[in-house]
Amino acid sequence: MMELDQPVSVLKGAGKETVESLAAIGVMTVGDLMEFVPARYDDMRLKSPEEAAHDEKVTIEGTVQTEPSVMYYGKKKSRLTFKMLSGPHLINVTFFNQPYLKKKAAIGETVTVTGKWDRHRLAVSGQLLEAGAYSRGSDFEAVYLLRNAIPLKPFRKLVKQAIELYGQFIEETLPTRLIQQYRLMERKEAIRALHFPHSHDEMKQARRRFVYEEFFYFQLKMQALRKTIREQSGGIVQKYDLAKLKSLIDSLPFELTGAQKKAVNDICADMKSPYRMNRLLQGDVGSGKTAVATLALYASVTAGYQGALMVPTEILAEQHAQSLHDMLAPFGLTTALLTGTVKGKKRKALLEALEAGEIDILIGTHALIQDDVVFQKLGLVITDEQHRFGVNQRRVLRSKGENPDVLFMTATPIPRTLAITVFGEMDVSIINEMPAGRKAIETYWAKKEMLGRVLDFTEKELQKGRQAYVICPLIEESEKLDFQNALDVHAQLTNHFHGSFSVGLMHGRLNSEEKDQVMKAFSSNELNVLVSTTVVEVGVNVPNATVMIIYDAERFGLSQLHQLRGRVGRGTEQSYCMLIADPKSEAGKERMTAMTETNDGFVLSEKDLELRGPGDFFGRKQSGLPEFKMADMVHDYRALETAREDAKELINDPAFWTDSEYVHLRSMLTNSGVLAGEKLD
Ligand code: ADP
Ligand code: MG
C-alpha cells in the first residue's frame, strides 16, 4: 500500500499552502485523504416542492417564467430574482451576489437551482446549479468538517482526484470470509461510496462496512493484547488445595450463589493455568464480590503464595481486613492491614514479616504500592473499585510479584458495550445475582417540600433501632452552588432529633483518624444518623442502616445514586432510599424515575449510558474509552459484539499468524505495539 502513503503533494492542485492546510486537519498522505470521514451528506436529489421541508436544502428543476431582475445594494451586494415553474408550482428564486447569472436564466430556459427552501413563500434562495436540466453526478454530496482549514469544494476535488488516481491501490484488509458472511462492501468500493455515493443505499453500505472495520480493528488489537498478556508473560501455576478451599466454603454462614460459584471457578481455573490471570469481576453492591475475593486469596495461600487486596479508602481497607481476618484466622492464615496510618515501628515490623513470608494476605490502600513494601512470594493481586486506581498504580502493585495473577473488582456495573471496549483485553466475570433472602430496597422520589414527611418516616425507623444515612452534595455552604451542605444539614438534624437520636458528620476533609472514629461510632450504633458527603459511597458496610436519604439527588449521576443506595439493604430488614430532588431537566427527571423503578445496577448503567453518552459515562475523558471515527458504541453495539467474537476467533486461529491473507492485519498489530504487551494508544 506504498502508493497510498505518498504525500498529498503528489496531487494536482495541492500546492504548499494546501498541503499545510491539510496537515492542520491531520491529512498528510493520499490514504489519509481517502479515509477522511464525511460529517454528513447533502441530499442532492431533485425534489418537487411538496417533498421539501421548510429550511431544508433542496435542488429543484424548472423553467424560467419571468425576466430576471437584479437589484444592487450595499457596496458589492446584489440580488437576482425571477419566477420559475416547477411542476404546478410557481417558485420565487433568489440568487445573492451572482448578477452574472442573469444571462443564463432567460425566459423559457430550463434551470436547476439549489438552495434553502422557504415553504411559506414558495421560495428558494441559493445558487444556480446548472443551466439546463440537471445531469446528476451523485445524489448525495459528502460534507466534511474541515475546521476552516480548506474550503469544501477544493477538498472534494482532491478527494476525487486521489480516488481516481490511487483508488486502484486500495487493498482489502478484512478477511474474505467475513466480507462474504456479512455481505460487506469491498474496501476499494466502500472508499469511493463513502465520498461519492450514488444512492442512499450505497451510503449506508459504505458506513456499515467502516463501522464494522473500525470495531474489528479495535477488537483485534484488544484480543491480541489479551493473548499476549496471557501467554507471553509467563504466569504462575498456582496449585491450590481444593479440599481446603471447599472446607472454607463450607464454613461460610451462607450458601454461595450460582454466580459466585461460577466466578470462583473462573478465577481458580485462571490461577491454576500457566497463563497470567487478567480478570475483571463485576457485580452490584452487595452481590458478594468480597466473599469471592476471599476465597481466591485463600486458594492462592494454599498454593504457597501470598495475596494482596488493594482498596481505595482506609475505611474500606479496615472493614475488609476485619472480615478477612474473621474468616481466615480459623484456617491458620495471617492477615495484615497496611494503610497510611500504619507508621514507625509497627510498619517496619509488618514489612519485615511480609518479606519473610509470615504474612499471608496483605490488605490496604495505595500504601501497598510503596517501594519498601516487598512480598516474599506474591501470587494474587486483587484491586477493588478498580477504576479509582490509575493504570500505573495497578502496574506497580502487579510488579511486586513475578507475573502474579490479577483480579479487578468493581461494583460500578458497566454496560456491556463499554465493558468490552474499555476492558476489552480482560476476561470478565459477572455476578448478576443477589444472595437469596435480600429484600429489594424501596426507593421513593420526594420533592423538597416533603422533607418533613421523610424525616417523620426516618424517625419511625430510628425508633425501631435502625440507622440512617443522609447524603449531601457539598461539605459547606457555597456561593456558587445552591445545594444542601453537610455542615448545615448536620446542624439542622442535630436540632431536629435533639434528645432522642444522635447525629454524626462525615466528609472528605476529616483526617483519616477522625473519619475512622465517626465510622466506628456509626457501625456500633452509637450514632443513629450519619450526615455525610459521598465519601461513604464506596463499600462501607453497616447492615443495621435501613434508611438512605439523598439531598439534591438530581445532582448525582445514576451510577453514583445506585452506589449510595447500596449502603442500605445490607441486612435482613427492609430498607428504604429517599431521593429529595426537584430536577429541572428532563434527564434529571428520568434519572429519578429510573431509580424508583429498578434496583438492578446493570439496567441503571445502561440507562445512564443512554442519558449521558459514552464519553461522559465515566465522568472523565481519560477513561480509556477509544474514539471511533464512524462507529457509535451505543447505536452500533451489535456490530461491536459481532466484531469482538470474530476478532477473538481470528486471533486464536493459527492461520492468522502465518497466512498471507492477514498480512495487513498483522502489521497493524505490530505497529500498534499490542504484540509487545503494551497498552493501546
Ligand atoms: P460486595 O463486596 O459485592 O459489595 P459483599 O461480599 O460485601 O458484597 O457481601 C455483602 C454481604 O452479603 C456481606 O455481609 C456478605 O457476608 C453477604 N453475602 C455474601 N455472599 C452471600 C451469599 N451467597 N448469601 C448470603 N449472604 C452473602
Ligand atoms: Mg496463573
Please tell me the predicted confidence (pLDDT) of residue 57: 80
Please tell me the predicted confidence (pLDDT) of residue 630: 86
Please tell me the predicted confidence (pLDDT) of residue 539: 56
Ligand 1 centroid to Cα of residue 327, in Å, is 13
Domain boundary among 120, 135, 150: 135
Distance CA 407, CA 188 (A): 43
Of the chain, the percentage scoring pLDDT greater than 90 comes to 50
Q: How confident is the model at residue 98 (pLDDT cuts 50, 70, 90)?
A: confident
Ligand 1 centroid to Cα of residue 577, in Å, is 20
* The one-letter amino acid at 631: A
Q: Does residue 96 register a pLDDT over 90?
A: no
Q: How confident is the model at residue 205 (pLDDT cuts 50, 70, 90)?
A: very high
| pLDDT tens, position by position, 430-478 | 898 888 877 889 999 999 999 999 999 999 999 999 999 999 988 776 6
Q: Which of 92-101, 287-296, 318-327 has the lowest mean pLDDT?
A: 92-101
The pTM (predicted TM-score) of the whole model is 0.67
289 lines ligand 1 (CB under 6 A): yes
Region 308-334 average pLDDT: 91
The conformation of residue 578, written as its DSSP 8-state character, comes to E
164, 158, 160, 159: which is closest to 14 by C-alpha? 158
- Cell numbers of 164, please? 481516481
- Cell numbers of 587, please? 434527564
Please tell me the predicted confidence (pLDDT) of residue 53: 82
Provide the 3-class DSSP secondary structure of residue 20. Answer: helix
Q: Does residue 22 register a pLDDT over 90?
A: yes
Q: How confident is the model at residue 387 (pLDDT cuts 50, 70, 90)?
A: low
Residue 571 domain-assigned (yes or no): yes
Task: Pick from 290, 315, 410, 432 the residue to mutate for probing ligand 1's pocket: most ligand atoms within 8 Å of its CB.
Answer: 290
Ligand 1 centroid to Cα of residue 308, in Å, is 20
Q: Does residue 391 register a pLDDT over 80?
A: no
Residue 32 domain-assigned (yes or no): no
Task: Pick from 287, 313, 438 the residue to mutate for probing ligand 1's pocket: most ligand atoms within 8 Å of its CB.
Answer: 287
- Taking the CA of residue 323 as reference, the ligand 1 atom at the shortest distance is 16
- Taking the CA of residue 291 as reference, the ligand 1 atom at the shortest distance is 6
Domain of residue 102: give its range. Answer: 45-135
Alpha-carbon torsion (607, 611, 614, 616), positive or negative: negative
282 lines ligand 1 (CB under 6 A): no
The conformation of residue 656, written as its DSSP 8-state character, comes to G
Between the CA of residue 573 and those of 255, 525, 533, what are the distances in Å? 19, 15, 24
562 lines ligand 1 (CB under 6 A): no
Q: Which of 250-259, 281-290, 626-635, 645-654 has the lowest mean pLDDT?
A: 626-635
Ligand 1 centroid to Cα of residue 570, in Å, is 8
The per-residue DSSP string of 130-189 comes to EESS---S-SEEEE---TTSS-HHHHHHHHHHHHHHHGGG----S-HHHHHHTTPPPHHH
Task: Pick from 251, 252, 254, 257 the residue to mutate for probing ligand 1's pocket: most ligand atoms within 8 Å of its CB.
Answer: 254
554, 542, 573, 291: which is closest to 409 by C-alpha? 291
Q: How many structural domains does the chain have?
A: 2
Of the chain, the percentage scoring pLDDT greater than 70 comes to 92
Please tell me the predicted confidence (pLDDT) of residue 651: 93
Element (DSSP H or E) covering residue 278: strand 278-283
192 lines ligand 1 (CB under 6 A): no
The CATH number linked to 580 is 3.40.50.300
Distance CA 257, CA 437 (A): 11
The conformation of residue 79, written as its DSSP 8-state character, comes to E
| pLDDT tens, position by position, 156-175 | 999 999 999 999 999 999 99
256 lines ligand 1 (CB under 6 A): yes
- Taking the CA of residue 285 as reference, the ligand 1 atom at the shortest distance is 4
Element (DSSP H or E) covering residue 125: strand 123-131
Domain boundary among 598, 625, 643: 598
Residues recorded for the chain:
681
Residue 207 domain-assigned (yes or no): no
Region 420-424 average pLDDT: 72
Domain boundary among 542, 566, 598: 598
Ligand 1 centroid to Cα of residue 290, in Å, is 7
Distance CA 303, CA 404 (A): 13
Residue 629 domain-assigned (yes or no): no
The CATH number linked to 61 is 2.40.50.140
Residue 149 domain-assigned (yes or no): no
Average model confidence (pLDDT) across the chain: 87
More confidently predicted of 511 and 416: 511
Beta bridge partners, 614, equal none
Residue 474 domain-assigned (yes or no): yes
- Contact in structure between 125 and 115 (CB atoms under 8 Å): yes
Question: In this structure, which residue's CA is closest to atom 17 in ligand 1?
Answer: 288
Residue 519 domain-assigned (yes or no): yes
Residue 72 domain-assigned (yes or no): yes
